[in-house]
Amino acid sequence: MNERIAIIDDEPITRMDIRDIVEQAGYEVVGEGGDGFEAIEICQKQKPDLVIMDIRMPLLDGLKAGKKILEDRLTHSIIYLSAYSDEEDTDMASKIGAVGYLVKPLSERSLLTTIQVGLASGKRDQQLTDKVNALDTKLEQRKLIERAKGVLMQENNLSEEAAYKMLRNLSMSKRQSMSDIAKLIVVDD
């Protein structure tokens, strides 16, 4: 396992216990912090696969920090810890996008199971995000090619098929992608 984990809790003993459990299970701890500001800083520098974070901490709580971390895509998953099973906190953790919520004192088995599920969920989410981004890129390229075809049709009095062939031929002869050629054609359009 090369999964990278950050541990954020204002209680150093809790951090040490979690670190021992996590490292014995084969995970790499890439950072530890005691408040939400440190959590954000660690995630900006390390981009861990998963963050284990206490909800109630001084300065900046885990919920606000987690929201920022997930919005900025600084980690794939967050597991929250709390000494309370407060409904308001659990609802907020869910809305933010947490993959787990554990009540202290922690059981080693529950923690490791939740980590495993959280990492799998994070990987799945990342794969979906990558697919969506790839599809967005393809769609934008397709739109650009369609606009370029329209310009070629209008400027050269060509049929749609002839304009497409012209684009394709330019792409092959200039050894550039069709979308790169299309960008040049529609630059002033």
List CB contacts of 162: < 8 A, sequence separation 6 or more.
153
Which residue numbers in the chain have pLDDT < 50? none
pLDDT at 88: 83
pLDDT at 189: 55
Reference 1, options 28, 37, 39, 30; nearest CA is: 28
Return d(Cα 40, Cα 69) in angstroms, integer: 6
Q: Does domain 133-185 have CATH number 1.10.10.10?
A: yes
Return d(Cα 141, Cα 157) in angstroms, integer: 23
Q: For 70-179, list the strands marked E by DSSP.
A: 77-82, 100-103
pLDDT at 170: 87
Secondary structure tally for the chain: helices H, strands E: 7, 5
Q: Hey, is 100 helix, strand or coil?
A: strand
Return d(Cα 17, Cα 66) in angstroms, integer: 21
Where along the chain do its domains lie? 4-106, 133-185
Pairing assessment for the beta strands 77-82 and 50-54 based on DSSP bridges = parallel
Distances (CA, A) of 156 to 69, 118, 149, 177: 52, 56, 10, 21
pLDDT at 96: 86
Tell me which architecture the domain covering 4-106 has in CATH. Answer: 3-Layer(aba) Sandwich (3.40)
Q: Which two tokens stand for residue 59?
A: 């300065």
User: Could you read off the pLDDT of 9-30 as tens digits, one per residue?
Assistant: 999 999 999 999 999 999 999 9
Return d(Cα 154, Cα 6) in angstroms, integer: 57
User: Could you read off the pLDDT of 25-44 as tens digits, one per residue?
Assistant: 999 999 999 999 999 999 99
The pTM (predicted TM-score) of the whole model is 0.74
pLDDT at 175: 92
Q: Which two tokens stand for residue 117?
A: 């599920």
